């Protein structure tokens, strides 16, 4: 990895870590979810970064991809709160997440995912197989009596690519592919009191632009021009609503979806409605691997 690129990852990681801790401080009973997300995104900008994806808060049985639209009035109370934050500097991405238990009932569940992450990070180096990482995560979470979420995984981080190869499993899936020097990956264990399998909900409020053709009306084309600025990174419906208003946003999204220009990222929840916790760090693989989202 070129020194300049390395420094961009390090900078993105520092900003992500600070934004995550700032967001954690806002997670209190009575806080509006939308307000927390907007303040986290503002903090990222204040620190000199850009969101690699919209800040997300997923509650209770929801594991990922929950993101407020402009009209969201959800208030934090006694939920299990997952905060997921991504930052990029010129496309170099840092991805990190944590869980706060406002209910006071799931301390062990939160500890299970966090400890699974810590244990996995201890073995990250060139030559370690993906299955070995998954085994460590699985053994840690099951030792607490919970299930790892098997159909969610960590992932590679490419330039302007939030999810790329390799897929980093949360159980021993037999994958003998090995980590290599200079790879950038995110490891994110999810622990569940339920099935350990997630399924899609609706509606999606996070999307990725995958094609920029096939639309003709001026409103949709104006929105499309805005989305191209994301350079392939995910965006929030809320961002468009703030810029274009709710009606124009809904109109444009409908046409873009029909034209197959967008890939939706719907909220994901445990299929047995079990409670879910999450922990995540990003790491540059090496003999002395760099966990660059640690505060």
Which token pair is 271?
């299929």
Per-residue pLDDT of the chain (295 residues; tens, 9 = 90+): 899 999 999 999 999 999 999 999 999 999 999 999 999 999 999 999 999 999 999 999 999 999 999 999 999 999 999 999 999 999 999 999 999 999 999 999 999 999 999 999 999 999 999 999 999 999 999 999 999 999 999 999 999 999 999 999 999 999 999 999 999 999 999 999 999 999 999 899 999 999 998 898 999 999 999 999 999 999 999 999 999 999 999 999 999 999 999 999 999 999 999 999 999 999 999 999 999 999 8
Confirm whether 88 is a catalytic residue.
Answer: no
Confirm whether 163 is a catalytic residue.
Answer: yes
Cβ-based neighbours of 3, under 8 Å, separated by 6 or more: none
CA distance 170 to 119: 12
Confirm whether 200 is a catalytic residue.
Answer: no
Confirm whether 265 is a catalytic residue.
Answer: no
CA angle 192, 273, 277 (to 5 degrees): 30
CA distance 131 to 61: 26
Confirm whether 280 is a catalytic residue.
Answer: yes
Which of 65, 163, 255, 265 is flagged as catalytic?
163
Residue 1 is predicted with a pLDDT of: 85
Q: Give the DSSP letter string of 56-118.
A: EEEETTEEE-----TT---B-SS-EEEEEEEEEETTEEEEEEEEEESSSS-HHHHHHHHHHHH
Confirm whether 65 is a catalytic residue.
Answer: no
pTM: 0.96
Which of 84, 115, 241, 270 is flagged as catalytic?
84
Sort residue 90 into left (φ over 0), alpha (ψ -120 to 50) or beta: left
- Quick one: CA dihedral 102, 293, 49, 269, positive or negative? negative
């Amino acid at each position: 990895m070129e020194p300049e690129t390395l420094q961009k990852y390090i900078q993105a990681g520092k900003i992500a870590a600070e934004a995550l801790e700032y967001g954690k401080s806002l997670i209190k009973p009575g806080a509006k979810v939308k307000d927390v997300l907007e303040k986290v995104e503002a903090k990222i900008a204040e620190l000199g970064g850009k969101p690699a994806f919209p800040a997300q808060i997923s509650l209770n049985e929801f594991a990922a991809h929950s993101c407020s639209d402009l009209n969201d009035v959800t208030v934090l109370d006694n939920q299990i709160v997952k905060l997921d934050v991504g930052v990029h500097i010129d496309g170099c991405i840092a991805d990190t997440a944590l869980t706060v238990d406002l209910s006071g009932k799931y301390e062990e569940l939160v500890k299970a995912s966090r400890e699974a992450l810590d244990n996995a990070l201890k073995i990250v180096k060139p030559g370690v197989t993906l299955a070995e990482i998954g085994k460590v995560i699985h053994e840690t979470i099951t030792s607490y009596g919970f299930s790892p979420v098997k159909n969610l995984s960590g992932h590679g981080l490419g330039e302007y690519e939030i999810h790329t190869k390799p897929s980093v499993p949360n159980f021993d899936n037999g994958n003998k592919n090995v980590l290599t020097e200079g790879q950038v990956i995110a490891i994110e264990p999810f622990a569940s009191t339920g099935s350990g399998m997630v399924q899609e909900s609706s509606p999606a409020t996070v999307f990725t632009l995958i094609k920029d053709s096939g639309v003709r009306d001026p409103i949709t084309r104006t929105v499309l021009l805005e989305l191209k600025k994301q350079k392939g990174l995910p965006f929030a419906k809320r961002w468009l609503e703030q810029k274009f208003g709710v009606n124009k946003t809904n109109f444009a999204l409908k046409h873009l979806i029909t034209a197959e220009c967008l890939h939706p990222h719907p909220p994901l929840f445990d299929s047995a409605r079990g409670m879910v916790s999450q922990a995540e760090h990003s790491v540059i693989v090496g003999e002395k691997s760099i966990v660059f989202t640690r505060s």
